[in-house]
Amino acid sequence: MIGKYQKNYFMKCISDHTNQGNSNLFKYCRQKGMLILLFIVVTMLAPGCFQQYYKTNTKQTADAAAIQQLKAADKYFIIHYTDKIMAAQNVQVVNDVFEADLLALPTTHAHYTLPKDYSRNVMKAKHQATALTEVHLYTSTAFNSEQLHTTIPLAEIKRMDVYDKDEKATKENRVTSIIGLSLATIALISVIIVVANPVVNLSGF
């Protein structure tokens, strides 16, 4: 029969072991939580890395020489009426009047019709080939659905955007992305090492 002293000692050992196990379990769960949290942060930051940007090169006027030069460069003209956006082809300027045949704007050129700013506008890499060919002309007149050929005096074109790649913003984002992902990778590896080698003893006595 176990004496009173031996019984108390035995119960104390069980209590100490249980407390130690709970402590180690808490540490283990906390380490796992850190790993999950870090993974979530990296996942959230990843889409903002290595972005491509474009700038609008906005001018408040349009002149015949500039339009002819853009036409010679095989640019894609898009006209912004007050109530509709249309594509333009067979562009020419005659006596300071912009003329073109109108077409429905194809989806391939409908991604960046509303730039947020003059620069640092995000552009997907897969859209770059088409977006950087675009010239956007803004007029204060409404679209006439009965006309497939438009004539717009250059004086009525209140804005002209010639899209181009924003090299500065793209480079800055690339540098920031490299630094950010490198630090995140180091932190992630460190947490993985800690989690993979925890000081945990849950197997019993």
Compute the distance between CA of residue 67 and CA of residue 69 in angstroms, rounded to an integer. 5
The answer to whether residue 112 is domain-embedded is yes
Same domain, 33 and 76: no
C-alpha dihedral, 23 to 28 to 30 to 33, nearest 10°: -160
181/135 Cα distance (integer angstroms): 35
Q: Are residues 112 and 130 in the same domain?
A: yes
Residue 205's pLDDT is 44
Domain-embedded: residue 140: yes
Domain membership flag for residue 138: yes
Q: Over the stretch 83-103, which tens digit does the pLDDT of each residue have?
A: 999 999 999 999 999 999 999
8 Å CB contact between 173 and 121: no
Domain with 181, as residue range(s), is 11-48+170-196
Q: How far is CA 62 from the centre of its chain?
A: 31
| Same domain flag for 70 and 112 | yes
Give the sheet arrangement for strand 134-139, strand by strand.
149-153, 97-104, 85-94, 76-80, 134-139, 157-162
Are 131 and 30 contained in the same domain?
A: no
Q: Kindly tell me if the per-residue pLDDT of 166 is higher than 60.
A: yes
User: pTM to 2 decimals?
Assistant: 0.72
Query: Does the residue 1 lie in any domain?
Result: no
76 and 24 inside one domain: no
Please check whether residues 121 and 43 belong to one and the same domain. no
Tokens of 24: 């180690």
Residue with tokens 């972005």: 51
Do the domain assignments include residue 2?
no
Task: Indicate whether 93 and 160 sit together in one domain.
Answer: yes
**6 assigned to some structural domain:** no
- Total count of domains within the chain: 2
Shared domain check, 59 and 102: yes
Residues 40 and 16 placed together within one structural domain of the fold: yes
Tell me whether residue 155 is in a domain. yes
C-alpha distances (whole Å) from 144 to each of 83, 103, 106 are 10, 12, 19
- Whether 116 maps to a domain, the answer reads yes
pLDDT for 3-19, tens place per residue?
555 445 445 454 554 55
| Co-location of 84 and 34 in the same domain | no
pLDDT tens-digit readout, 55-76: 999 999 999 999 999 999 999 9
Question: How much is the average pLDDT of 146-171?
Answer: 96
Edge-to-edge strand list for the sheet holding 164-165:
121-123, 52-55, 164-165
Structure tokens at 138: 């803004």
Q: Are residues 75 and 154 in the same domain?
A: yes
Q: Are residues 96 and 158 both part of a single domain?
A: yes
